[in-house]
Amino acid sequence: MKVSVDRSLCYGSAECAHRVPAVFAFEDGYGVVRPGRQESPDDPELREAAERCPSQAIALTE
């Protein structure tokens, strides 16, 4: 599964970094996908982070 964060939508709640710190980090006031984690296994926690992102900035694609 491919993981990305749209910086134009992200408003910096850091919810993703708190929920799945192995995949997301908080840098310069925005959530980002950690280097090397753009391709991550399908994981319920990852899906939950995307669903609960307050700005809907996380995209998960197969």
pLDDT tens for 22-31 read 999 999 999 9
> What's the CA angle centered on 53, arms 41 and 19, to 5 degrees?
55
Listed by start position, the domains of the chain span 2-61
CA–CA gap between residue 62 and residue 41 (Å, rounded)? 10
Q: State yes or no: pLDDT of 15 exceeds 90.
A: yes
pLDDT grade for 58, boundaries at 50, 70 and 90? very high
For 2-61, CATH gives: 3.30.70.20
